[in-house]
Amino acid sequence: MGSTPDLARAQWRKSSYSGSNGGECVEVAALDPHIAVRDSKAPAPILLFPATAWSAFMESVKG
């Protein structure tokens, strides 16, 4: 198992589907070789996924 990513350097970005009305938003941050995912309203816990698994998930969602 690899080392724990440095979450202090995470640059979070909101989903492009999130509105500006202050609702629930999903945020992601690239922390090579992981992708971190959190809820903007409740930022803990943070979920970590291998970048390859996240990429496969995103392709599946798009299809």
pLDDT tens for 34-50 read: 999 998 888 889 999 99
Q: Which residue has the higher pLDDT, 58 or 1?
A: 58
As a whole number of angstroms, the distance between CA 34 and CA 19 comes to 26
More confident: 63 or 35 = 35
Element (H, E) at 22: none
pTM: 0.78
Give the Å distances, CA to CA, from 40 to 9, 10, 33: 17, 14, 22
The residue-averaged pLDDT of 14-21 equals 72
